[in-house]
Amino acid sequence: MAEVEQFIKDMKPKISNIIEKKRRLYFNVNNKHLREVADYLFNKLGCRLSTATAMEMYHGLEILYHFSLDKAGQYFCPRIVITDKKHPKVDSITNIIEGAIWIEREMYDLWGIEFVGHPCMEELLTLHHPQGLQRPLRFKEGA
Amino acid sequence: MKANQIPVGPFHPLLEEAEYFELKVDGETVVDIDMEIGWMHRGHEYISEMKTFTQSIYLVERICGICSTSHPIACVHAIEDIDNIEIPLRARYIRTLIGELERIHSHLLWLGLAGHFIGYDTLWMWAWKYREPVLEMFEIISGNRNHYGMMRVGGVGRDVDPEKIPTLYKHLDLIEKKMVMIAKAAKDDPVLRSRLKGVGILTHAAAVAYCAVGPTARASGVPGDIRKDEPTDAYDLVDFNRIVLQNGDVYDKLVVRVLETIESIKIVRQCLDKLKTVPGPVLNNVKEISPGEGIGRYEAPRGEVFHYIRSDGSNRPIRHKVRAPSYVNIPTFTASCKGIPIADALITLASVDPCYCCTERSLKIIDKNHDPQSIDLLKLSREKTEQIRRKIHGN
């Protein structure tokens, strides 16, 4: 697909571990290039941010963004791996995509990932829950 | 001047799920809106990691009571995406049939509620009356009026009995006839047009910025429709039109849904035609899911439902992400509610078709210039329609 080839060509030095499947493109990106990649996908290619999936693995926390290029039925999925599990931090993309506000707040809420530059970094789902609880979807200590 | 606040929710008749909106008003005008969710966080993503793939399908069917088959379809698409699993042709038609019947009953449900909110109870009663035959069709096909339990990895769990197809046609003929009548009544009614035209406009730019989906986005000129963009199941084998309008107001959202319902009836008819001749089976035997990750999506009545599943090769997902369309559509209120009168707030909030519930709450506000008083948004909305009706038709 032309858009995929052009994206890989333009972003080649900034992305790695590229996995191409039918209508799906998964790749890794560093935090310092995240905003640039998001800007390219959203503003240049015209993608829509479907959502982002956070998950905890033994090697760290992962965030997988899902950008949908609707006109081609194609997904671009940049993946960020955060190895500092105690104080996970990532740049916010809300200054590029307003639709990311709730998506990032939810990841902060459930995984404790802080998004630097987010306009309202507070819990989305557990705002009125008792304070001081562990982030609900993180591994439990000793598990 | 300091804005007054009007709370809507967390329990309110226009919200199926409990959510909280705080309208900030200056006189009669809404100047800002705050939203809080999280009143019904049920932990589906976490529970799914403790279920097998097959059990997860049943679990996600219970996320929503109205579009209960959209989540299972997106879920099986995600699992099938891991291994590129193909499904039999007959199963593709059955999935499409179930998905489109659900769109018809969901849009009719919304149409009825929208009519009720603005004081058009006749529209409400018509829409809900003719939603019944759709539910009866579900009962004939699956044995259930809701939560059909049809989806499986590799196909569907139950075939459509060919002997029952003539009865399904009979129901569909009735729905089509009545839907054309309702569509004409809703589109041509001068009061309805005056009441909804130009109300709660979501601009094209705002719809793109907030990543809105479904009829909410298509009424604002954003053409995304997963059925056309990434056609799965039988969507590349049936003929239907993508409905896109430009104004972004509540009237266009209504028209998009009405026209989509008619398109859905066309798709259902084509699927039934094919089910008379296309042979089975309806399920491929899938024994194992390989390690990997898959994305599944489906155009639910409210927009794109998104599921992401990661597998480690065992019989259960290690991560299951779910994103329903209301999650990205509700933040658009920030753009569509600013500057509108309070009487229009109710129908604007309802226009994205967030989930509804049956509890109504009377709201108390304190205005420093007046005594504490009770404000009923439903009453305000209906009074505005009545004023327009009197202006157009006289007393």
The residues, ordered by sequence, that sit 6+ positions from B356 with a Cβ below 8 Å of its Cβ are B13, B14, B15, B16, B109, B113, B350
| Alpha carbon of A55: minimum distance to chain B alpha carbons (Å) | 7
CA distance B101 to B142: 12
SS3 B133: helix
Choose the weakest-confidence range: A40-49, A81-90, A112-121, B382-391.
B382-391
Cβ of B125: how many Cβ atoms within 10 Å? 13
Is A59 an interface residue toward B (CB < 8 Å)? no
Would the CA dihedral through B221, B335, B252, B238 be positive or negative?
A: positive
CB contact under 8 A, B295 and A71: no
Whether A102 and B319 lie within 8 Å, measured CB to CB: no
What confidence tier does B14 reach under pLDDT thresholds 50, 70, 90?
low
**Highest mean predicted confidence (pLDDT) among A82-86, B2-6, B100-104:** B100-104
Contact B26, A116 (CB under 8 A): no
Average pLDDT over residues B270-276: 96
Which three-class secondary structure state does DSSP give residue B203? coil
Highest mean pLDDT among B33-42, B49-58, B339-348, B364-373: B49-58
B157-169: pLDDT as tens digits: 999 999 999 999 9
- Out of A70, A71, A102, closest to residue B331 by CB: A102
pLDDT tens digits, one per residue of A100-136: 999 999 999 889 999 999 999 988 888 777 766 678 8
∠A35-A38-A42 over CA atoms, to 5°? 140
Q: Give the helix/strand (H/E) hosting B343.
A: helix B342-351
Q: Are B319 and A107 within 8 A, CB to CB? A: no
Residue B87 reports pLDDT greater than 50: yes
Give this prediction's pTM. Answer: 0.91
Mutation site, A55, A94, A138, interface B, largest B CB count within 10 A: A55
The closest of B253, B263, B239 to B336, measured between CA atoms, is B253
Question: Which residues of B are less than 8 Å from A48 in CB distance?
Answer: 208, 211, 213, 224
Which of B231, B304, B321 lies at the smallest CB-CB distance from A53?
B321
Do A124 and B37 lie within an 8 Å CB cutoff?
A: yes
Q: Which domains does chain A have, with CATH numbers?
A: 2-88 (3.30.460.80)
| d(C-alpha A42, C-alpha B230), whole Å | 19
In this prediction, residue B373 carries a pLDDT of 44
The strand ranges marked E within A1-143 are: 15-21, 24-29, 48-57, 60-69, 74-82, 89-91, 114-116
Cβ A66 vs Cβ B308: under 8 Å: yes
Chain A residues with CB under 8 Å of B338 CB are none
When pLDDT is averaged across residues B68-81 and rounded to a whole number, the result is 94
Q: Do A51 and B46 touch (CB under 8 A)?
A: no
Q: Percentage of residues in chain B with pLDDT exceeding 90?
A: 56
Tokens 């995304």 -> residue: B224
Q: Which of B211, B213, B230 sits opposite A97 (nearest CB)?
A: B211
Pairwise CB contact (< 8 Å): A50 & B37: no
Contact B150, B94 (CB under 8 A): yes
Which domains does chain B carry?
4-40+341-393 (no CATH), 44-327 (1.10.645.10)
B210 CB neighbours in chain A (<8 A) are 98-99
Residue A29 CB contacts under 8 Å (≥ 6 apart), including other chains: A14, A15, A16, A37, A78, A79, A80
- As for the ipTM of the complex, it is 0.95
Residue B114: predicted pLDDT: 86
pLDDT tier at B1 (50, 70, 90 boundaries)?
low
